[in-house]
Amino acid sequence: MYGDPQSRQGHIVKTPEEEQYAMDLRSSDLAGPLITRPTMSQLPVDNTRDGLIAAYFIYFHPCHPFLLPHEHTLDMLQQRSLRHLELAIQYVASFYVPTARKADHRDTLRRHVLQDNSGKDGTFVQALLLLAIGLHIENDDEDSASVLSSAVALALDLGMHYRDFAAMNGEGNPLLEESWRRTWWELFVIDGMMGGVNQKYTLQLMLVDMNVSLPCEEVDYKPGVSISPLY
């Protein structure tokens, strides 16, 4: 959707073959997948926690870079209790790793996010968004629509559609602030796309009053430097 991330030094080396796989947003296919997969000979086989996270950032993140860049996401997952987000990353990654138990990842993720929204923050919006995308990939239009609606409702409750949300929740970290802005715009784009390809989903954000800054240039976001909002 807007560029690709830098690899984490010492952990991921992206080849030209890995670079070519991107999100498939074909609006003409109501039941079609949201991703294209590598050929069988190129599919990763590491279904460990680190292997799945690596697969996410190699194959899915380049066209949907709303989470923090790879190394920063790993640091955040290590420092905080964000099991829901980690499970969401692993679930989406399971589409690229044949040995991963997709149903187990999906069901565990559901238990962590589909509960009362009180006390939840923007990382739950991210997890719900990834779950909705994964369910759509599995051609589960009804549940995908329901989960995406939950993500939209939570985002609006949190005020993610307002410019000051990023600063108020960015902990003084420009990279995290940018991630929040990108999360909103990812949600906005997926809302529009789902409104066109999922007959169970009704477009929700087109008329919402919002003033979130646009994403910065990818060349600045990938290394996490020189990030400034675009108004």
64-90 pLDDT, tens digit each? 999 999 999 999 999 998 999 999 999
**Alpha helix (H) residue ranges in the chain:** 16-19, 49-55, 70-79, 83-93, 102-113, 122-137, 141-158, 164-169, 174-197, 218-221
SS3 230: strand
**What's the confidence (pLDDT) of residue 24?**
38
* Domain boundary assignment for the chain: 16-219
Q: What is the pLDDT along the chain (231 residues), one digit of tens a residue?
A: 433 333 333 333 333 333 333 333 333 343 344 565 666 656 677 788 989 999 999 989 988 999 999 999 999 999 998 999 999 999 999 999 988 999 999 999 998 887 766 679 999 999 999 999 999 999 999 999 999 999 999 999 999 999 999 999 999 999 999 999 999 999 999 999 999 999 999 999 999 999 999 988 888 887 766 567 776
> For residue 26, what are its two tokens?
């074909």
Mean of all residue pLDDT scores within the chain? 82
Beta bridge partners of 230: 214
**What's the confidence (pLDDT) of residue 9?**
31
Query: What string of DSSP letters covers 1-22?
Result: ----PPPPTTT----HHHHT--
pTM: 0.82
